[in-house]
Structure 1
Amino acid sequence: MRKTKFLILIISILISSNVYSQSRPYEGPDDPAGDIAAERTGWMNGNRVLMFYRNTTEIADHVSWFVNKWPNTLEGTKMHDGICLLLGARVFVENDSIPVTDPAEIASRTDLDTLYYCQSSYREHMDKNNAGTVEWGLYPVFGYFNEQSETPAMSNLPESWPPLGWPAAGNELIWPKEWNGRFGRGVTKADLECFFVVNDAQDQEYLGPNAPLKYFPRRIYGSDGTIISDLRIGDKKSDVTIQRGMPSGGIGIRVQVRGFQWSNPAVQDAIFWEYGIANVSEYDIPGMYFGMYTDNAVGGESSEGADDIAFFNKELNMCYSWDLDGIPVGGGKEPGVYGLAFLESPGVADDGEDNDNDGLTDEKRDNDATQKIGPYEGITNLADFLKFYSLKESDLKEHWDADEDQDWQDWNDANGNGKYDDGEEIGDDVGLDGVGPVDLNYFGPDADGTEANHKPDRKEGIAEPNFAETDVSESDMLGLTSFKYIFNWGRDFYGVGGDENLWHLHTEPTETNPQFAEAQMEPRNFVEQFASGVFELKKGQTERISMSELHAYENLAGLNSDTHDAPALFELKRIVQAIYETDYRFAQPPLMPTLVANPSDSKVYLSWDDRADKFTRESFAKNINDFEGYKLFRSTEPYFADPTIITDGYGTPTLKKAIYQCDLIDDKYGFANYGEINGIQYYLGNDKGITHSFIDNTVQNGRTYYYVLVAYDYGLPDRNISPSENIFVLEIDENEEIKRISKNVAIVQPHQLSAGYPSEGASIEGMTDAAQNINLQVDLFDPNKIKNGHTYKLKMNVVEFGHAETDTKIQSPYDIRYYNNEIQVYDVTMGDSLVYLETKNDVSGSNFDSLEAQGIVALTSEREIVTELFEGLRLRMKMPTVLPRINWDNTGWVDGSSAININLSQKYQYFPWHYEIIWNDPGVYDTTRTNLILKKLEDHQGYEIDKDNTLLDHKFNFHVINKTFLDSTGNYPKMDLIVQDVNENGVYDWKEDHILVGDSRYVERLKVTLWSGTIFSIDFRSVANEDQLPKPNDVYRLDFYRTFHHSDSLMFNVTGLTEELDEKKLAEDMDEIKVVPNPYVVTNTMEGAVANWQRNQKRQIMFTHIPAQCKISIFTLSGILVDEIEVNNSVSGRENSWDLNSEANGTVHWDLRSSEGLEIAAGYYLYHVESKKTGDVKIGKFAIIK
């Protein structure tokens, strides 16, 4: 408190006649007073910056190493001890409590009293009530999160959202069960967002009974201007837990906070915070500054004090700090650089100045569009405008008056019918809900008529894209006006409770208090503060401040040089600035897939859904689906240091190496030569094709593995933006226990099967010829979905695309050229019900190839076909061919031997069946059925044979059957035989003539049998003499590789899990019980890595092949009981949603501690394992060597 007795000489706030600079009622949500009971904590962990925050606006803390960390890996370190918001204000009152807000009146009077405020929420030096029990600062507001949730509202946690909807204007609730996006209903532009609201109603510093001056920000006035009452804490929400009944205090501000993170490699080391600060009081606030406060602790802070130094770069509006000696607390890798970039400041819309040098004077973010104006109207400096917005003069256009920067895109009503039609460009004219016709959550036009009305729309807190509240450039920003290093931050100095001191510090520069303190090169403990002010915040007005926390690894010598070089950090600041200037919009990854894992013996089965490849939309590219592929990462510790081995040009590990990757077959492969991140090009894959499952068989039983599946897109080459992939959340508490995981994460321990556990598998029950060549493998992925004992039938859809004989009257039923274009699986046990169908359109075509020469798309023979999962199963097969070819491996003599020649016809692909040439018993002959040659007859080479050179009534001592089919009598059909009289002598000469093998058809109308086509020919020219000709009952087989015909199928049976315990098998399996490792020496690979400074790794050994329900007793050699382990491996015994324990698990770990929690001594120990189901016992011993 301070009594003003002097004339204020300089007022930076001028009076404007513009209606939007005048006071008006606040039109946003009518919030209750903030409440300590509404306080929640959360973690921003959407990229490599791990950040704890409170929904009070306080970020991080000093109490633990775990409250902020960069990078969020085993090598990461703490970077600071906290960040908080500073909202400074100076108000004037007369007669001890009557506000005076008119700048001219304030300037002319000397009898006014002055009150100073700094509204904040921080761990120390806050103003409090006399009892010290209530802090007078910012408190979170109920209504903006689910009260049953432990966290504030987060975009990836629908259970944290308010169940009835989000507060809007007045008491309205909007958008239930959808994210309250900055850009509209359900719209998320970042990979991870948080959202909360605070206000300062609980600040009673100038409202207490002993306060000589009072300021009542929220009074209720009558129509005649008399005071009716004061709005009181609890009026809106009567169950408020603190200071109920006291007047609503502070200066009457409401702060809406959003945090943003992107996982794209370009910005994975940054986190954004945006604050929308509204004056909800009854008065204009004549003077304010907005600022931030950060307590440095790069690399952690030891008890001996900090050794940080810092520098402020005016050009970049960024301060950055580093550890002088590069040694973090607890040792380890040199910590990185911590930067804090100031991005957005309040706008001054009535001072007649172009504060941000964008060629526009006094632009605003809260003015409505009223009329269209010309291309140059509103621009006060054309050169500055074109430079600031990267435009050419030809880009200027007629625009709405409130769209000062001309970036709002109107709807293109292409056919002029006055309504939106599919395919038209809706632009930004999507209505106030921010959702347009091309969005997945579009339910129809906005009921309020704001969609497709050719006009940008807004109301308090909500606007269409690129307009008003959603367009950061539509503000004449004041910019950063103060930056300070603080060495004494107590309440009586420059801590958050030093209201008046902080006002003078940040708003009254002098020679001894310069606006910007550039360097702090003395290693010590300090805080940094920056601010923007002074400006007027009128009643009902909202202004903003935003900042970004940045991190990078830099060369310590460069940092400590005179120029304090930080090239990686500067590049990150450039990208961060670009994101800010595009209204916090950046390329987003595909939709997040859901990963499912099932552990088994020395392998892990992993599968995922197809949501990402089907439903992804990229708003930066007109909502096209730019999904490209999947990557699967694996680590043996939750920080994923194992796969993070791809380094950037500065040598910093940046990207993860996948253990499995699949991508679309779309000619987008190799390394992306755009959007390089410090020299890294993103690997797009090799056009492998999309699958949704993988078996990891390179794992060790008993070891914990962490899997992350990410979907990635193609990026935006025209904008030089690299591909983006999903974030993942693996939230860990201070004890390094898992608290929560995102749906694309799985935590798995492969294990031996428990003793007596029934086996599972699949067996082939029967198959036709073609099915024998596909080498079918049945993978049992999900034991809970497998239908025990069911029999399945695999078939392929057949598409015919040609015949050797086009005349249908004589066309053979076996004359068909075809391919397969579908996979079909039927559950025979359930009456041949179709349980799986796959076409080229279902899984991005990965199991199909396009054969351009034939003009077909068929099941591939180039790579293994892998189906999607169905009923817990996955099929793998390798088609031997797409179009028929001879199978030499299965062609030749079955019985007998002779040097006969088989000559394939050029049309054999129309008859690719299984043939057998069988020599008859003595005296048995087959006669040619064809009795008339009407059409051209071809030999095996395709040459025409004169009908005079054929012998039609010849008898043969052998016959040829087609073993692929059965005729109407149930027998294999016989093929027809014709002698080609090669030497034209009118008789059959076995040494010279050929025998044509084909089919023939009886034509009822003509009463004749006609030849249907030549398949192959037989000759005996290589046979030396008649004695070497085939003998009776000799059999020669001719076989072809081909795909499935209508008649082909493969039957297989599945044996799944049952609840029946095999007691005999249990007793046998218990003989295999082992302790691993044995002996235990210091450590083993089952003991996970830790990141805490104490490096207190948990020790453990494992018992294998144990019954799922058993009791293990551990004794010293002298018989003293050390510990007992009650084993209940079962689904019902799972401890959390990611626990995959089940009755199949035949392992259990022991922590090498006694029943009293003490570490055991080195030596020999006995174990006694007893099955709870059968009473079978196994006794053994193990050794511990420390």
Structure 2
Amino acid sequence: MKLQKFHSKFFLFVAAILFPAILLAAGTVKKSLHKSKGRQDQKIGYHDANKIFTIFYNWGGIGDWTGGRRIESGVYPRGSGHSYFAEFTPVLGAEVTDANGVVRHIFSDGLPDFGHADVSPEGKRWQFEPVAGYANPNQDRVAMSDDSISWPSHWPDKDHSWDGHWDGQYGKYARADQESYYRMDDYPNDEFQFYPDPSDSSKRGLGLEVEVRGYQWVQVAAEDILIWTYWITNKGKTAYKKMIFGMYGDADVGDDGDQRDDDSWFDKKHDIVYQWDHDDKGAWGGPTAYFGWKFLESPGNPYDGIDNDEDGMIDESQWDGIDNDGDWNPLTDDVGSDGIGPNDPGYTGPDPDGTEGNGQPDLGEPNFEYTDNDESDQIGLTSFAAATWPNIDLKDDEKVWQQTVPGSFEVPKQTTDITFLYGSGYFPLDVEQRRKFAVAMLFGDDLDDILRNAVTMQNIYNADYNFAKPPLKPHVTVVPGDHKVTLYWDKIAEQSRDPIYGYDFEGYTIYRSTDPAFLQTWVITDAYGNKTFNKPIAQFDKIDGLTGPHPIGYNGLQFNMGTDSGLRYSWTDTTVENGQTYYYAVCSYDQGYDKDFYARGISKIENLQPIIPSESSKRILVNAVGVVTGTDVNTVVVTPEAPAAGYVPPENIKTDNNLMVHNLGFATGRVTANIIDPSQLHDGWEYEINFDDSTLVLPENTRKSYSVLNKHVFTESFVGDTNWVNLRHQHLKAGSVSVTDESGMVAFSEQTDYEVNYDVGNIRILSPSGNMQKGNTYQIKYLYYPLFHSTYLNGEIFNSFFNGLQIVVKDDPLKLDHQNSGWIEGDCNYKYQIGIFKGAKNYPLDYEVRFK
């Protein structure tokens, strides 16, 4: 099959012009204590949540062909090693009058290639630099939504209620499956004698700060797409009349060594630029893909009285305090300025500022101002330049200005090593004003495929990224064996709530491959012959009647929903070879939606838009030379092998093999502790199983359940706080907690010095001026229940695993004990017959009948 990809580049350029009245004399600039920017805050990032894998930097660069980074730049599909571009960067420019009265055009960029970057004679880069504080300073990665270690302890642009939460565009959560976030400014660009803020000599360039976010989804309809958004804020004291916002890029379809035979084209109507390999043969000898950029949003001009984007609204704005398109819904959107409501993960209560439930739209709520992508009178793509590399020279600011003048569209030369420069302008930017543009990096197997992806991406964007999300990924553990591999996982995926479709978890798929990118399983094609789905080796789904091909298809292909097999939480692969390395993924998938799902009882929400199912991602982290460097929570790497000589596996613990002691109460049921992972067993640990039957005392709320108590005393340290501090375990045993200082010598009293939430598993000190001090380290000891109030009593294998064990219980129904029933005193030949009244409730009591 032909696997073509096109690279279409989209660039918006911002050109700014100084008001003529703002002219600076060279001697009037004041010095400032503003911290000068250096390279010390530069960090690296990787987007790898779907089929696209690429390196990027927190000073604007996307991709990098220098320093051996080419094999990490625009790789598609992820894991193939096929790179589709060298580098890209946003470019922002403005027309200004410098301190000497000379009209200048100043541009800043984030080009990674130092050899072609705009640098001073002394080697200083005249570029963007990262703004400090937006990533963990003790590591070298850009802040990513799925890596909390990369987050700072406090986000500089938010109050402390956001600490420990993702700093999302739409609230304290990530709307995509993977998001990146950083800020950069152009203050180090002191090439020209222009001072955007006369009171701050360290603030050079145009005085611009840019908020940058990347978005990736794993859903099959968006797995070939990576979105970048750029919010530009004028932090200087100079208002600009003419700005251009654009992007420069160097795509090499077919990888390095095959970049000199590329063709390209642009489509002004649909705001898309794309590129493909002329002979459809990459450096690897096989077919190539199409690659491109689509303009999703350009800066708007809300002042010209023109409907620039032809959407029926004139001069709409994301900053005018008006819900221009009237799509804010008080029933669903009145969640407050933090963007999350009672049904969202991470919700801790109403917003302190009173914005939640106040009956009016507020900044930060969905579908209003900057969270509504439709509220901008977009200018669109206004210029396009193309030239053989390296003839677009970002060092020449005046030439870049001429190449991005609105209305300038150059027909690209074909079958060559092409570079592009796209722009959008002019538009004004006042002091402290924010403007936004967004582009989508796209891949497709051919031209039709990439155009379909472009339509999908525009729909996602227009819906403010409210795209269906897959369930949470299960946490998987692997147990290697002799010619077998056992996987087991938790139930966290079943607690997932989609922001649109609610609790829609459906099942698990298991994938096995001998390559870390799972390309071996990527074999199911759509009606156009494009690879679309991976083929699972095993699948387990809910028993709900949703089986076989899903009613909603994607490009003529339906997702297999399963066979109503029932859910499982472990699986053993017995078709493996010892010594071979295997890569496994356990993915969760949702129900999708069709018009009759509410009537069929599949969904609890009616009248939603039909959609195909979403499946969670599967990622094995691999470095540039192919060495595995890490796994995701739902992926594992394993090599099965024979056990050591003389090894005897442990025996499962049962009520009938004397490995379990029944020490209290009467019972005839059967309990088994299946050992699934011997490596997780702890010598000497004891567990106590307690059964609770409330069916007798609370007939209106009947329940039988059991809990497992780990009788090993756990000890951990925590830092005192008047806010709740989470412990490592939940469901603590009441009365088992003791708290001391670090030395263990000074004991504290519950309800006097501290308070414990036993179910949630957290603790807080009661008074900052009491015996326990905020910020001091303390020691806590406790017992906890690793299995709490389970109701699986019919031999189900649904209990969560803990310490390598899974508990299985088979309850016996209440019935007459004929063996121990009969005459106990006296000599009587009366015959008796005892039965159970069918309409009565079984009650576990012994009765004595006396005759007088």
Same fold judged by TM-score > 0.5?
yes
Query: Measured at CA, do residues 31 and 434 of structure 1 come closer, stay the same or move farther in structure 2, by a change above 3 Å?
Result: farther
Q: Deviations 1:1079-1110 (Å, cap 9, x if unpaired)?
A: xxxxxxxxxxxxxxxxxxxxxxxxxxxxxxxx
Are 1:929 and 2:806 an aligned pair? Answer: no
SS at match of 2:519: coil
Report if the CA contact (8 A) 1:663-1:687 is conserved.
yes
Q: Distance in 2 between matches of 1:822 and 1:914?
A: 28
Match of 1:620 among 482, 497, 500: 500
Shift of the alpha carbon at 1:178? Answer: 1.1
Query: Measured at CA, do residues 866 and 689 of structure 1 come closer, stay the same or move farther in structure 2, by a change above 3 Å?
Result: same
Shift of the alpha carbon at 1:571? Answer: 1.1
Query: Measured at CA, do residues 698 and 502 of structure 1 come closer, stay the same or move farther in structure 2, by a change above 3 Å?
Result: same
Report if the CA contact (8 A) 2:16-2:242 is conserved.
no
Q: Distance in 2 between matches of 1:756 and 1:603?
A: 18
Are 1:125 and 2:106 an aligned pair? Answer: no
Are 1:761 and 2:651 an aligned pair? Answer: yes
Report if the CA contact (8 A) 2:16-2:95 is conserved.
no
Q: Distance in 1 between matches of 2:16 and 2:92?
A: 18
Q: Distance in 2 between matches of 1:326 and 1:672?
A: 34
Q: Distance in 1 between matches of 2:542 and 2:378?
A: 45
Report if the CA contact (8 A) 2:118-2:395 is conserved.
yes
Query: Measured at CA, do residues 472 and 14 of structure 1 come closer, stay the same or move farther in structure 2, by a change above 3 Å?
Result: farther
Report if the CA contact (8 A) 1:662-1:690 is conserved.
yes
Deviates more, 1:678-687 or 1:475-484: 678-687
Report if the CA contact (8 A) 1:32-1:141 is conserved.
no
Q: Deviations 1:246-287 (Å, cap 9, x if unpaired)?
A: x32101111110000000000001100000111111011121
Q: Distance in 1 between matches of 2:437 and 2:37?
A: 21
Match of 2:583 among 698, 706, 726: 706
Match of 1:728 among 589, 614, 618: 618
Shift of the alpha carbon at 1:795? Answer: 8.2
Q: Distance in 1 between matches of 2:613 and 2:460?
A: 16
Match of 2:191 among 205, 209, 212: 205
Q: Deviations 1:1037-1070 (Å, cap 9, x if unpaired)?
A: xxxxxxxxxxxxxxxxxxxxxxxxxxxxxxxxxx
Match of 1:191 among 165, 177, 186: 177
Query: Measured at CA, do residues 783 and 725 of structure 1 come closer, stay the same or move farther in structure 2, by a change above 3 Å?
Result: same
Q: 1:459-474 counterparts in 2 under 5 A?
A: 463-474=364-375
Q: Could you say which residue in structure 2 is the equivalent of 1:1116? A: none
Match of 1:547 among 439, 443, 447: 439
SS at match of 1:159: helix
Q: Could you say which residue in structure 1 is the equivalent of 2:357? A: 452
Report if the CA contact (8 A) 2:93-2:108 is conserved.
yes
Query: Measured at CA, do residues 533 and 874 of structure 1 come closer, stay the same or move farther in structure 2, by a change above 3 Å?
Result: same
Are 1:743 and 2:698 an aligned pair? Answer: no
Q: Could you say which residue in structure 2 is the equivalent of 1:505? A: 403
Q: Distance in 1 between matches of 2:355 and 2:620?
A: 41
The letter of the residue matching 1:271 is L
Report if the CA contact (8 A) 2:389-2:417 is conserved.
no
Shift of the alpha carbon at 1:684? Answer: 2.2
Q: 1:1127-1166 counterparts in 2 under 5 A?
A: none
Query: Measured at CA, do residues 869 and 755 of structure 1 come closer, stay the same or move farther in structure 2, by a change above 3 Å?
Result: same
Are 1:337 and 2:337 an aligned pair? Answer: no
Report if the CA contact (8 A) 1:704-1:748 is conserved.
yes
Query: Measured at CA, do residues 632 and 936 of structure 1 come closer, stay the same or move farther in structure 2, by a change above 3 Å?
Result: closer
Q: Could you say which residue in structure 1 is the equivalent of 2:565? A: 688
Shift of the alpha carbon at 1:471? Answer: 1.1
Q: Deviations 1:759-795 (Å, cap 9, x if unpaired)?
A: 4223656279x99998968333252234559698898
Q: Could you say which residue in structure 2 is the equivalent of 1:644? A: 522
SS at match of 1:456: coil
Q: 1:527-566 counterparts in 2 under 5 A?
A: 527-554=419-446, 566=447
Q: Could you say which residue in structure 2 is the equivalent of 1:1017? A: none
Q: Distance in 2 between matches of 1:472 and 1:703?
A: 50
Are 1:351 and 2:297 an aligned pair? Answer: no
Query: Measured at CA, do residues 178 and 800 of structure 1 come closer, stay the same or move farther in structure 2, by a change above 3 Å?
Result: closer
SS at match of 1:568: helix
Report if the CA contact (8 A) 2:169-2:371 is conserved.
yes
Q: Could you say which residue in structure 1 is the equivalent of 2:327? A: 407
Q: Could you say which residue in structure 2 is the equivalent of 1:160? A: 150
Report if the CA contact (8 A) 2:44-2:140 is conserved.
yes
Q: 1:1000-1015 counterparts in 2 under 5 A?
A: 1003-1005=849-851, 1007=852
SS at match of 1:497: coil
Q: Could you say which residue in structure 2 is the equivalent of 1:784? A: 680
Gaps of 5+ in 1: 1-10, 16-29, 98-111, 207-213, 221-230, 233-246, 369-401, 411-424, 510-514, 555-565, 802-818, 841-846, 848-857, 884-908, 917-925, 939-966, 969-1000, 1008-1186
Query: Measured at CA, do residues 315 and 726 of structure 1 come closer, stay the same or move farther in structure 2, by a change above 3 Å?
Result: same
Are 1:323 and 2:277 an aligned pair? Answer: yes
Q: Distance in 2 between matches of 1:937 and 1:689?
A: 34
Query: Measured at CA, do residues 795 and 174 of structure 1 come closer, stay the same or move farther in structure 2, by a change above 3 Å?
Result: closer
Q: Could you say which residue in structure 1 is the equivalent of 2:72? A: 67
Higher relative contact order (CA 8 A, sep 6+): 2
Q: Distance in 1 between matches of 2:184 and 2:703?
A: 63
Query: Measured at CA, do residues 838 and 859 of structure 1 come closer, stay the same or move farther in structure 2, by a change above 3 Å?
Result: farther
Q: 1:390-401 counterparts in 2 under 5 A?
A: none
SS at match of 2:342: coil
Match of 1:49 among 45, 49, 52: 52
SS at match of 1:502: helix
Q: Could you say which residue in structure 2 is the equivalent of 1:859? A: 794
The letter of the residue matching 2:464 is D
Q: Deviations 1:832-860 (Å, cap 9, x if unpaired)?
A: x98756645xxxxxx6xxxxxxxxxx737
Shift of the alpha carbon at 1:658? Answer: 2.3
Query: Measured at CA, do residues 927 and 602 of structure 1 come closer, stay the same or move farther in structure 2, by a change above 3 Å?
Result: farther
Report if the CA contact (8 A) 2:688-2:710 is conserved.
yes
Q: Distance in 2 between matches of 1:178 and 1:936?
A: 61
Q: Could you say which residue in structure 1 is the equivalent of 2:605? A: none
Q: Distance in 1 between matches of 2:685 and 2:59?
A: 58
Q: Distance in 1 between matches of 2:344 and 2:551?
A: 30
Query: Measured at CA, do residues 152 and 777 of structure 1 come closer, stay the same or move farther in structure 2, by a change above 3 Å?
Result: closer
Query: Measured at CA, do residues 308 and 1002 of structure 1 come closer, stay the same or move farther in structure 2, by a change above 3 Å?
Result: closer
The letter of the residue matching 1:150 is D
Match of 1:178 among 165, 168, 191: 165
Shift of the alpha carbon at 1:746? Answer: 1.6
Q: Deviations 1:398-456 (Å, cap 9, x if unpaired)?
A: xxxx111101122xxxxxxxxxxxxxx4x222221112222231222222222222222
Match of 1:218 among 190, 197, 217: 197
Query: Measured at CA, do residues 347 and 576 of structure 1 come closer, stay the same or move farther in structure 2, by a change above 3 Å?
Result: same
Are 1:437 and 2:437 an aligned pair? Answer: no
Report if the CA contact (8 A) 1:193-1:259 is conserved.
yes
Percent of residue pairs identical: 30
Q: Distance in 2 between matches of 1:772 and 1:457?
A: 61
Report if the CA contact (8 A) 2:16-2:243 is conserved.
no
SS at match of 1:180: coil
Q: Deviations 1:185-213 (Å, cap 9, x if unpaired)?
A: 2x11000000011100001111xxxxxxx
Report if the CA contact (8 A) 1:73-1:640 is conserved.
no
Deviates more, 1:339-348 or 1:313-322: 313-322
Query: Measured at CA, do residues 32 and 189 of structure 1 come closer, stay the same or move farther in structure 2, by a change above 3 Å?
Result: farther
Report if the CA contact (8 A) 1:786-1:872 is conserved.
no
Q: Deviations 1:842-897 (Å, cap 9, x if unpaired)?
A: xxxxx6xxxxxxxxxx737xxx64543244212568x7x998xxxxxxxxxxxxxx
Match of 1:136 among 126, 136, 155: 126
Match of 1:752 among 642, 648, 652: 642
Q: Distance in 2 between matches of 1:262 and 1:670?
A: 25
Shift of the alpha carbon at 1:143? Answer: 0.7
Shift of the alpha carbon at 1:672? Answer: 1.7
Query: Measured at CA, do residues 73 and 287 of structure 1 come closer, stay the same or move farther in structure 2, by a change above 3 Å?
Result: closer
Are 1:599 and 2:599 an aligned pair? Answer: no
Match of 2:105 among 116, 123, 133: 116
Q: Could you say which residue in structure 1 is the equivalent of 2:231? A: 276
